[in-house]
Amino acid sequence: MNDRNVLEVSHLKKYFNAGRRQIVHAVDDVSFTLERGKTLGLVGESGCGKSTCARTVIRMYDVTGGNIVLDGTDITNMSQKELKPLRRKMQMIFQDPYASLNARMTVRDIIAEPLIAHGIVARKSEANDLIYGMLDRVGLTREHANRYAHEFSGGQRQRVGIARALVLQPDVVICDEPISALDVSIQAQVINLLKDYQEEKGTSYLFIAHDLSMVRYVSDEIGVMYLGQLVELGEAEEVHFHPLHPYTKGLLGSVPVANPKLARQKEKSSIEGDIPSPIHPPEGCRFHTRCPYATDVCSRVTPEMKDAGGGHKVACHLFD
C-alpha cells in the first residue's frame, strides 16, 4: 500500500440476492484510492451504486469480491468483532439527518455513545469537554446538548450527525449525500464546516453525491459511476471542465443552469432513457443502450479503464 493513501479499494464487488435466482450487480469491479487529507467525490444518478459502494467500503455490507485496505490493514473479510477497533478510523455521515439520529436520545447521549463504545471515556459525565468542544466546532452551543433531535431544524440535525462522526477523529469519513436533504442556504455552511475540519485535521472524505457541479467544489478527485461501475476518474477540475465519458458529459448537461442560453446548450447533452436494471446489466459497455456515440463494438466488448493522459482515466471505446 502506498503510504500516501489511507484507503485502497480494488475490484470491489457487491451483489445482492433479489430472490428467484436474480442477482443485483450493485457494485461491479470498482477500484480507487483515497489519499490522506483529500476528498474523492463519487457521483452518478440514483441507482448507480455509489451509496452501496460507500456502505460496502465501510463494511456495513459483506463484500462479494475484491479488496478494501484501510490504513494498511485489509478489512475485506474481517468479522464485525474484528472491525470494531477499526471503526474509529472510518465514520459515516448519512444523507437523512431525520432518520439517522435516535429521536429518544439527547444530543449529549448521541455524541457520547461512540466515545463510550470505543473506550475513549468510561462514562457520559467524562465526555462533556469533548462533547462541548465538538458542538462548538459544528456551530452549535452547549445548550443544545440537552435537547432531542426532533427539536432541531434539518441543518442543525445534520450538524449533530457530523459531530457524532467527527468526535472520534476518524481518518476517513464517508459522506453519503450529506447535504441533499438540506435547504440550499444551509448546504454551503455544512460544506464549509467539513472543509475547515479537513484542513485542520487532515481527514479524508469519500463524498457521495448526484450533483457533479457541487461535488467539484468539495473534491480533489471525482469518480463517475454508472450501473455499478466507475466510468471516469480524475482530478475534479479536469473531470468537470474536460469530461471524457459520454455519460459524464450527459450528467453535466443535466445540472440545472441559471443562464437560459447556457441551459439550452447543456440540454443537448442530457442523457435520454432510464438506467437499465442492475439485475440484467447490458453486455459490453453498460452505457451503450443510452449512449449517442455507441457503435457495434460497444454492445459486445466491455471497455477497460485507461489513462487518457495526466492521470485522467476513462472506460470508453472512443479512447481505445
- Judged by CB under 6 A, the residue of 111, 115, 227, 298 near ligand SF4 is 298
- Judged by CB under 6 A, the residue of 206, 291, 308, 312 near ligand SF4 is 291
- Judged by CB under 6 A, the residue of 183, 293, 307, 311 near ligand SF4 is 293
Indicate whether 241 belongs to the interface with ligand SF4 (CB under 6 A). Answer: no
- The count of residues interacting with ligand SF4 (CB under 6 A) is 13
Asked if 49 and 228 count as a contact pair (C-beta separation under 8 A), the reply is: yes
Q: Which stretch binds ligand SF4 (CB under 6 A): 30-38, 45-53, 261-269, 289-297?
A: 289-297
* CB of residue 291 to ligand SF4, shortest distance in Å: 3
Indicate whether 246 belongs to the interface with ligand SF4 (CB under 6 A). Answer: yes
- Judged by CB under 6 A, the residue of 69, 255, 257, 318 near ligand SF4 is 318
* CB of residue 293 to ligand SF4, shortest distance in Å: 4
> What does the H/E/C string look like for 159-199?
HHHHHHHHCCCCCEEEEECCCCCCCHHHHHHHHHHHHHHHH
Measured distance CA(86)–CA(100) in Å, rounded: 21
Measured distance CA(318)–CA(132) in Å, rounded: 54
The residue with cell 468479522 is 79
* CB of residue 52 to ligand SF4, shortest distance in Å: 22
The residue with cell 471524457 is 244
Measured distance CA(134)–CA(284) in Å, rounded: 49
- Judged by CB under 6 A, the residue of 70, 208, 303, 308 near ligand SF4 is 303
Measured distance CA(320)–CA(306) in Å, rounded: 8
Grid coordinates belonging to 226 = 454508472
Indicate whether 308 belongs to the interface with ligand SF4 (CB under 6 A). Answer: no
Q: Point out which residues bind ligand SF4 (CB under 6 A).
A: 245-246, 285, 287-288, 291, 293-294, 298, 303, 316-318
